[in-house]
Protein backbone atom coordinates (compact mmCIF):
# COMPACT_ATOMS: atom_id res chain seq x y z
CA UNK A 1 0.00 0.00 0.00
CA UNK A 2 1.10 3.57 -0.65
CA UNK A 3 -0.16 7.05 0.13
CA UNK A 4 0.84 8.37 -3.32
CA UNK A 5 -1.99 9.71 -5.51
CA UNK A 6 -1.49 10.14 -9.26
CA UNK A 7 -4.52 12.43 -9.41
CA UNK A 8 -2.99 14.67 -6.74
CA UNK A 9 0.38 14.73 -8.50
CA UNK A 10 -1.15 15.76 -11.84
CA UNK A 11 -3.30 18.44 -10.21
CA UNK A 12 -0.29 19.74 -8.27
CA UNK A 13 1.67 20.21 -11.49
CA UNK A 14 -1.14 22.36 -12.87
CA UNK A 15 -1.42 24.29 -9.60
CA UNK A 16 2.30 25.10 -9.76
CA UNK A 17 2.13 26.39 -13.34
CA UNK A 18 -1.12 28.28 -12.86
CA UNK A 19 0.12 29.84 -9.62
CA UNK A 20 3.34 31.08 -11.18
CA UNK A 21 1.49 32.50 -14.18
CA UNK A 22 -0.87 34.31 -11.82
CA UNK A 23 2.08 35.69 -9.85
CA UNK A 24 3.71 37.01 -13.04
CA UNK A 25 0.46 38.66 -14.07
CA UNK A 26 -0.11 40.33 -10.70
CA UNK A 27 3.45 41.22 -9.72
CA UNK A 28 5.06 42.83 -12.75
CA UNK A 29 3.74 46.18 -13.93
CA UNK A 30 5.78 46.40 -17.14
CA UNK A 31 4.08 44.49 -19.96
CA UNK A 32 7.31 43.20 -21.49
CA UNK A 33 8.63 41.98 -18.13
CA UNK A 34 5.28 40.38 -17.40
CA UNK A 35 5.30 38.66 -20.79
CA UNK A 36 8.86 37.42 -20.39
CA UNK A 37 8.05 35.96 -16.98
CA UNK A 38 5.00 34.10 -18.33
CA UNK A 39 6.99 32.79 -21.28
CA UNK A 40 9.66 31.52 -18.90
CA UNK A 41 7.06 29.57 -16.91
CA UNK A 42 5.88 27.69 -20.02
CA UNK A 43 9.41 27.08 -21.22
CA UNK A 44 10.45 25.66 -17.86
CA UNK A 45 7.44 23.32 -17.87
CA UNK A 46 8.43 21.88 -21.26
CA UNK A 47 12.15 21.84 -20.55
CA UNK A 48 11.52 19.88 -17.36
CA UNK A 49 8.83 17.43 -18.45
CA UNK A 50 9.30 16.69 -22.15
CA UNK A 51 11.36 13.57 -22.96
CA UNK A 52 15.08 14.26 -23.32
CA UNK A 53 15.01 13.91 -27.11
CA UNK A 54 13.20 17.28 -27.19
CA UNK A 55 14.33 20.78 -26.27
CA UNK A 56 12.25 23.91 -25.82
CA UNK A 57 13.55 27.47 -26.28
CA UNK A 58 12.64 30.88 -27.58
CA UNK A 59 14.18 30.96 -31.05
CA UNK A 60 14.15 31.91 -34.70
CA UNK A 61 13.89 29.16 -37.30
CA UNK A 62 15.86 29.18 -40.55
CA UNK A 63 15.79 27.04 -43.67
CA UNK A 64 18.56 26.01 -46.07
CA UNK A 65 17.45 28.71 -48.52
CA UNK A 66 18.29 31.41 -46.00
CA UNK A 67 14.73 32.35 -45.03
CA UNK A 68 14.07 33.09 -41.35
CA UNK A 69 10.86 32.83 -39.36
CA UNK A 70 9.65 35.44 -36.93
CA UNK A 71 10.94 35.02 -33.38
CA UNK A 72 8.89 32.30 -31.70
CA UNK A 73 8.23 32.29 -27.96
CA UNK A 74 8.40 28.51 -27.58
CA UNK A 75 9.99 26.17 -30.13
CA UNK A 76 10.02 22.45 -29.40
CA UNK A 77 12.81 20.89 -31.44
CA UNK A 78 14.95 17.81 -31.83
CA UNK A 79 18.38 17.59 -30.20
CA UNK A 80 19.07 13.93 -30.80
CA UNK A 81 19.47 14.01 -34.57
CA UNK A 82 19.89 17.73 -35.31
CA UNK A 83 23.46 19.01 -34.91
CA UNK A 84 23.04 22.42 -36.54
CA UNK A 85 21.89 24.97 -33.97
CA UNK A 86 23.39 28.43 -33.58
CA UNK A 87 23.64 30.27 -30.27
CA UNK A 88 24.75 33.87 -29.88
CA UNK A 89 24.17 35.64 -26.57
CA UNK A 90 20.47 34.98 -25.91
CA UNK A 91 19.63 34.31 -29.56
CA UNK A 92 19.02 30.76 -30.78
CA UNK A 93 18.67 29.82 -34.45
CA UNK A 94 17.18 26.40 -35.22
CA UNK A 95 17.07 24.66 -38.62
CA UNK A 96 13.56 24.14 -39.94
CA UNK A 97 14.03 20.37 -40.17
CA UNK A 98 14.46 20.14 -36.38
CA UNK A 99 11.17 21.74 -35.39
CA UNK A 100 8.35 19.70 -33.88
CA UNK A 101 6.12 22.44 -32.46
CA UNK A 102 5.81 26.20 -32.02
CA UNK A 103 3.77 28.18 -29.48
CA UNK A 104 3.17 31.79 -28.60
CA UNK A 105 3.04 32.50 -24.86
CA UNK A 106 0.84 35.45 -23.87
CA UNK A 107 -0.86 36.83 -20.76
CA UNK A 108 -4.39 36.47 -22.09
CA UNK A 109 -6.04 34.95 -25.15
CA UNK A 110 -8.02 37.21 -27.51
CA UNK A 111 -8.84 37.47 -31.20
CA UNK A 112 -5.73 39.58 -31.77
CA UNK A 113 -3.48 37.12 -29.93
CA UNK A 114 -4.91 34.13 -31.79
CA UNK A 115 -4.28 35.93 -35.10
CA UNK A 116 -0.76 36.73 -33.93
CA UNK A 117 -0.07 33.09 -33.06
CA UNK A 118 -1.51 32.00 -36.41
CA UNK A 119 0.84 34.35 -38.24
CA UNK A 120 3.83 33.08 -36.24
CA UNK A 121 2.90 29.49 -37.04
CA UNK A 122 2.71 30.37 -40.73
CA UNK A 123 6.16 31.98 -40.65
CA UNK A 124 7.63 28.63 -39.54
CA UNK A 125 5.56 26.22 -41.59
CA UNK A 126 6.29 28.00 -44.86
CA UNK A 127 10.02 27.32 -44.48
CA UNK A 128 11.65 24.74 -46.73
CA UNK A 129 12.76 21.50 -45.07
CA UNK A 130 15.32 19.12 -46.53
CA UNK A 131 15.13 15.34 -46.10
CA UNK A 132 17.77 12.76 -47.00
CA UNK A 133 17.53 8.96 -47.39
CA UNK A 134 18.44 7.24 -44.13
CA UNK A 135 21.22 4.61 -44.24
CA UNK A 136 20.94 1.58 -42.00
CA UNK A 137 22.65 -1.79 -41.60
CA UNK A 138 20.50 -3.47 -44.24
CA UNK A 139 20.45 -0.68 -46.82
CA UNK A 140 18.74 2.70 -47.02
CA UNK A 141 15.31 3.94 -46.00
CA UNK A 142 13.66 6.44 -48.37
CA UNK A 143 13.79 10.10 -47.41
CA UNK A 144 11.07 10.90 -44.90
CA UNK A 145 8.41 13.42 -45.83
CA UNK A 146 8.70 16.25 -43.25
CA UNK A 147 5.89 15.96 -40.76
CA UNK A 148 3.27 18.40 -39.56
CA UNK A 149 4.58 21.14 -37.26
CA UNK A 150 2.30 21.50 -34.24
CA UNK A 151 1.32 25.08 -33.42
CA UNK A 152 -0.64 26.77 -30.66
CA UNK A 153 -0.95 29.46 -28.02
CA UNK A 154 -0.39 29.38 -24.24
CA UNK A 155 -1.93 31.90 -21.85
CA UNK A 156 -3.09 32.30 -18.28
CA UNK A 157 -6.36 34.17 -18.80
CA UNK A 158 -8.96 34.91 -21.48
CA UNK A 159 -10.38 38.23 -22.63
CA UNK A 160 -13.66 36.53 -23.55
CA UNK A 161 -16.71 35.59 -21.53
CA UNK A 162 -17.19 32.71 -21.57
CA UNK A 163 -13.46 32.15 -21.62
CA UNK A 164 -13.50 29.20 -24.03
CA UNK A 165 -16.71 29.86 -25.93
CA UNK A 166 -17.75 30.63 -29.49
CA UNK A 167 -15.46 33.66 -29.73
CA UNK A 168 -12.41 31.43 -29.32
CA UNK A 169 -13.71 28.83 -31.76
CA UNK A 170 -14.51 31.55 -34.32
CA UNK A 171 -10.99 33.00 -34.02
CA UNK A 172 -9.41 29.56 -34.40
CA UNK A 173 -11.53 28.87 -37.50
CA UNK A 174 -9.94 31.84 -39.27
CA UNK A 175 -6.57 30.10 -39.29
CA UNK A 176 -6.33 27.64 -42.15
CA UNK A 177 -3.46 25.89 -43.90
CA UNK A 178 -0.08 26.96 -42.54
CA UNK A 179 -1.80 29.33 -40.09
CA UNK A 180 -3.94 26.70 -38.35
CA UNK A 181 -3.47 26.19 -34.60
CA UNK A 182 -3.59 22.67 -33.19
CA UNK A 183 -3.84 23.05 -29.45
CA UNK A 184 -3.46 25.51 -26.64
CA UNK A 185 -3.93 26.17 -22.96
CA UNK A 186 -5.65 28.93 -21.05
CA UNK A 187 -4.38 27.82 -17.66
CA UNK A 188 -7.11 29.46 -15.57
CA UNK A 189 -9.90 27.90 -17.63
CA UNK A 190 -8.99 24.92 -19.82
CA UNK A 191 -7.60 23.81 -23.16
CA UNK A 192 -8.51 23.74 -26.83
CA UNK A 193 -7.73 20.98 -29.32
CA UNK A 194 -8.11 20.97 -33.09
CA UNK A 195 -8.07 18.34 -35.80
CA UNK A 196 -8.53 18.59 -39.57
CA UNK A 197 -12.29 19.06 -39.22
CA UNK A 198 -12.88 21.29 -36.21
CA UNK A 199 -11.76 22.59 -32.83
CA UNK A 200 -13.26 21.91 -29.42
CA UNK A 201 -12.58 23.13 -25.91
CA UNK A 202 -12.29 21.39 -22.56
CA UNK A 203 -13.01 23.43 -19.43
CA UNK A 204 -10.74 22.24 -16.63
CA UNK A 205 -9.69 24.81 -14.05
CA UNK A 206 -7.87 22.23 -11.91
CA UNK A 207 -5.68 20.43 -14.46
CA UNK A 208 -5.52 22.49 -17.66
CA UNK A 209 -1.73 22.91 -17.77
CA UNK A 210 -1.16 19.22 -17.09
CA UNK A 211 -3.76 18.21 -19.67
CA UNK A 212 -2.02 20.40 -22.25
CA UNK A 213 1.38 18.89 -21.44
CA UNK A 214 0.15 15.31 -21.78
CA UNK A 215 -1.72 16.05 -25.02
CA UNK A 216 1.38 17.68 -26.49
CA UNK A 217 3.51 14.65 -25.60
CA UNK A 218 0.90 12.35 -27.16
CA UNK A 219 0.94 14.38 -30.38
CA UNK A 220 4.72 14.47 -30.45
CA UNK A 221 4.72 10.67 -30.21
CA UNK A 222 2.68 10.45 -33.41
CA UNK A 223 5.25 12.57 -35.27
CA UNK A 224 8.05 10.05 -34.59
CA UNK A 225 11.46 11.42 -35.63
CA UNK A 226 12.31 14.54 -37.64
CA UNK A 227 13.69 14.01 -41.17
CA UNK A 228 17.42 13.53 -41.75
CA UNK A 229 18.74 17.06 -42.33
CA UNK A 230 20.86 17.81 -45.40
CA UNK A 231 23.75 19.63 -43.72
CA UNK A 232 25.42 20.28 -47.09
CA UNK A 233 22.43 22.35 -48.16
CA UNK A 234 23.28 24.74 -45.32
CA UNK A 235 27.02 24.48 -46.00
CA UNK A 236 26.46 25.99 -49.46
CA UNK A 237 26.08 29.35 -47.76
CA UNK A 238 29.78 29.23 -46.88
CA UNK A 239 30.50 29.79 -50.59
CA UNK A 240 28.20 32.76 -51.07
Question: Per-residue DSSP letters for 26-64?
Answer: HH--SHHHHHHHHHHHHHHHHHHHS-TTEEEEEEEEE-T
The predicted-structure confidence for 181-237, as pLDDT tens digits, reads as follows: 999 999 999 999 998 889 999 998 889 999 999 999 999 999 988 888 999 999 998
Tally helices (H) and strands (E) across the chain: 6, 13
1 domain-assigned: no
d(CA 193, CA 54): 21
240 domain-assigned: no
pLDDT greater than 60 at residue 30: no
Q: Known catalytic residue: 73?
A: yes
Q: Annotated catalytic residue: which of 63, 78, 104, 204?
A: 104
Q: Known catalytic residue: 106?
A: yes
How many structural domains comprise the chain? Answer: 1
Q: Annotated catalytic residue: which of 106, 120, 182, 204?
A: 106
Domain range for 72: 6-234
89 torsion bin: left (phi>0), alpha (psi -120 to 50), beta (else) = left
Question: At 134, is the pLDDT very low, low, confident or very high (cuts 50, 70, 90)?
Answer: confident
The predicted-structure confidence for 45-91, as pLDDT tens digits, reads as follows: 999 999 999 999 999 999 999 999 999 999 999 987 777 778 877 78
239 domain-assigned: no
142 domain-assigned: yes
For residue 226, give Cα distances in angstroms to 80, 100, 148, 170, 171: 10, 8, 10, 32, 30
pLDDT greater than 80 at residue 238: yes
211 domain-assigned: yes
Question: At 143, is the pLDDT very low, low, confident or very high (cuts 50, 70, 90)?
Answer: confident
Between 59 and 27, the more confident residue is 59
The predicted-structure confidence for 157-178, as pLDDT tens digits, reads as follows: 999 999 999 999 999 999 999 9
pLDDT greater than 60 at residue 1: no
Q: Known catalytic residue: 34?
A: no
pLDDT greater than 80 at residue 36: no
Q: Annotated catalytic residue: which of 73, 78, 182, 204?
A: 73
145 and 130 in contact (C-beta within 8 Å)? no
pLDDT greater than 80 at residue 24: no
d(CA 170, CA 39): 25
pLDDT value at residue 212:
94
DSSP class of 68: B
Q: Comparing C-alpha atoms, which of 75, 173, 193 is closest to residue 123? A: 75
d(CA 133, CA 74): 29
139 domain-assigned: yes
210 domain-assigned: yes
pLDDT value at residue 2:
66
228 domain-assigned: yes
End-to-end CA, the chain: 67
DSSP class of 187: T
Amino acid sequence: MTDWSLETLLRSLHDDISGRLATARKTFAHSVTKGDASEAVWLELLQKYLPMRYRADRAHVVDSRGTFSDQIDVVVYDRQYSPFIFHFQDQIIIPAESVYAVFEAKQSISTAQVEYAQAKAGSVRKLYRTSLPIPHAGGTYPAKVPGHIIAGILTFESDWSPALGDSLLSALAQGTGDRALDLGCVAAHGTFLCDEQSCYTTEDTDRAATAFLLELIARLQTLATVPMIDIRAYAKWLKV
